[in-house]
A and B are shown apart, each in its own frame.
Chain A
Amino acid sequence: GNSVTQMEGPVTLSEEAFLTINCTYTATGYPSLFWYVQYPGEGLQLLLKATKADDKGSNKGFEATYRKETTSFHLEKGSVQVSDSAVYFCALSDPQTARQLTFGSGTQLTVLP
């Protein structure tokens, strides 16, 4: 079956620090990969996505590259801000299983001023 393994948290950084949150996956087919973000008290929002190997998703200064050879989709940002404090979820969707999303366990990020 499909699974997503995500870097354990919580992660605490100072403002302007570099961020990496690791994500690896196991899938039977050729999944699409996603990063979702959950701000306090809110639902999940799509942050970025990639639908095939070597695609790079990017949004709001965050980037992640779909690496089929290492089955990874690590999230990076060069300079985090206090407003980036949230929970980040890596997820995959296998086109053969009717749009079901498989999520990682989530990583809590706190950015200190």
Chain B
Amino acid sequence: NAGVTQTPKFQVLKTGQSMTLQCAQDMNHEYMSWYRQDPGMGLRLIHYSVGAGITDQGEVPNGYNVSRSTTEDFPLRLLSAAPSQTSVYFCASSSTARTGTPNTEAFFGQGTRLTVV
């Protein structure tokens, strides 16, 4: 049972470089999201998607792009890396996306630790 798979686990970038963090889930979940985790700040939502072809911004979207061409995949792109983007990034998915219904469990990947120098 793979669940949510993130790659890579670790990455070091130079300022100005671009890269894509990969996220894939095999649970046929509609809802996927990206968070960044910084000390003392919990997890903050970057972007999310309620289904293939639909994405929207979260709390801290600047400097990041996403796309959702399939149900399974939700890559996060850093366009021009900055030291402020040094963080641990988590991808998550959950099964229901309809508003007004009780939430179900979100499943998280193991994270990508990104350092921008």
Which residues of A are at the interface with B, using a C-beta cutoff of 8 A?
4, 6, 32, 34, 36, 41-46, 49, 51-52, 89, 93, 95-101, 103-106
Known: A4-B42, A44-B43, A89-B42; 20 extra A-B contacts, CB below 8 A, are A6-B42, A34-B103, A36-B108, A41-B110, A42-B111, A43-B90, A43-B109, A44-B108, A49-B103, A93-B103, A95-B101, A97-B99, A98-B50, A98-B97, A99-B96, A99-B97, A100-B33, A100-B48, A101-B45, A103-B42
* CB under 8 Å from chain A, chain B span 99-117: 99-103, 105-106, 108-111
- B33 contacts which chain A residues (CB < 8 A)? 99-101
Indicate which residue in A95, A99, A103 contacts B43 across the interface (CB closer than 8 Å): A103
* CB under 8 Å from chain A, chain B span 1-58: 4, 31, 33, 35, 40-45, 48, 50, 56, 58
Task: Please tell me if B94 contacts chain A, counting CB pairs below 8 Å.
Answer: yes
Indicate which residue in B41, B90, B100 contacts A44 across the interface (CB closer than 8 Å): B90
- Tally B residues with Cβ within 8 Å of A: 30
- A34 contacts which chain B residues (CB < 8 A)? 103
CA of A101 to CA of B90, assembled, Å = 13
CA of A44 to CA of B43, assembled, Å = 10
- A46 contacts which chain B residues (CB < 8 A)? 105-106
- A104 contacts which chain B residues (CB < 8 A)? 42
Q: Digit string of B70-113 for contact with A (CB within 8 Å is 1, else 0)?
A: 00000000000000000000101010110111110110111100
